[in-house]
Amino acid sequence: MYAFFELRDSGFFIIDGQRVHAGIDVATFCGDDILAAHDGTVLVAGRQAAREMAFDSSLDPFFDRIDQNGSLGEQSITVVIDDGNGYRSAYAHLAEALVDPGDVVTAGVAIGTEGATGNASGCHLHYEMIRMDGPWMAVAGQYVRRELYPQNARQRVDPMRVLTLEMSGAPSLIPGIDPPDVSPGLGRPTVVVPDPG
């Protein structure tokens, strides 16, 4: 399992000048059911989920570029759920979504199957929690320039701080990798940090 905010060359966000991974990656096996972590309402299910992932401006340039080069099939199949408490949960790289926008789901119900769609090197689930009233986090310049993503997105929070590890089949923490004591972005001014490379 990849740790939350792990330093990574391909990291989507910039924190303290470093590119980081803003979620957790969990793998069981291809085709395994992916279960909702919380009760909520499905906002989007499919390859255009970025529209519901709380960016600071329109994603029209990003999707216009995708339309022009016909690369929608290269995007991850993702389900985004409004957890009803100020957070959204995003489940990415699914082989298929088993829910539709507007569906109301309960924790533990299957919402998709584990896959490797999008930028994935193998079957796994990438899970993010988005704090909808949180501070803005800077998107890595590579994604802003090349992919035409907006410059900022709402704060991602460490899912391991809110999910129970007591459930059957729950992931386990990796020994030696602790989550940050303070969630990155809290108390920091809203600024766009230049991409270090």
Q: Is the dihedral of CA 21, 1, 158, 73 positive or negative?
A: positive
Contacts of 39 (CB under 8 A, 6+ apart): 83, 84, 104, 105, 106, 107
pLDDT for residue 162: 65
C-alpha span between 34 and 16 (Å, rounded)? 33
C-alpha span between 18 and 12 (Å, rounded)? 10
Question: Per-residue pLDDT tens for 36-69?
Answer: 998 999 999 999 999 999 999 999 999 999 999 9
Does residue 21 register a pLDDT over 70? Answer: yes
User: What's the whole-model pTM score?
Assistant: 0.81
The amino acid sitting at 164 is T
Taking residues 79-90, what's their average pLDDT? 94
Cα dihedral 134, 138, 142, 146 in deg (nearest 10): 60
Phi and psi at 27, nearest 5°, equal: -125, 135
C-alpha span between 187 and 4 (Å, rounded)? 19
Domains annotated on the chain, with CATH: 23-134+153-161 (2.70.70.10)
Question: Per-residue pLDDT tens for 101-127?
Answer: 999 999 999 999 999 999 888 899 999
The neighbouring-strand residues paired with 110 are: 35
Q: Identify which of 94-98, 170-174, 189-193 has the greatest average pLDDT.
A: 94-98
